[in-house]
Amino acid sequence: MEEQKHVHKHINENPDSIEIGTPSKGGAQKIYGDYNRPEEFRKKIDNAAEVRTYAQANIKVEMPQKE
């Protein structure tokens, strides 16, 4: 059996986060930032929205058919 490795990352530079969306309705995104730097946080949110739009347009997920 192949050994599984786990990575735990502690985030101190961006202590705050906001989660947008729901996993059951197209996915959720969690964006980390610093509420004391709102302009930087807004840019991260804008970038995340751009990447999400790209992913939705270019990644096709096929669900198996029930028999």
Q: What is the pTM of this model?
A: 0.63
- Interval 21-56: pLDDT, tens: 887 776 788 999 999 999 999 999 999 999 988 988
- pLDDT of 14 higher than 80: no
pLDDT of residue 11: 60
**Quick one: pLDDT band at residue 12, thresholds 50, 70, 90?**
confident
How many whole angstroms from its chain centre is CA 22? 11
- Is 8 domain-assigned? no
User: In which domain, by residue range, is 46 found?
Assistant: 34-58
Structure tokens at 10: 């502690």
Residues 6+ apart with CB under 8 A from 27: 21, 52
- Is 41 domain-assigned? yes
pLDDT of residue 45: 94
- Is 9 domain-assigned? no
Tally of structural domains, the chain? 1
Q: CA–CA separation, 52 vs 21, rounded Å?
A: 11
- Is 45 domain-assigned? yes
Q: What is the dihedral of CA 35, 7, 56, 62, to 10 degrees?
A: -150
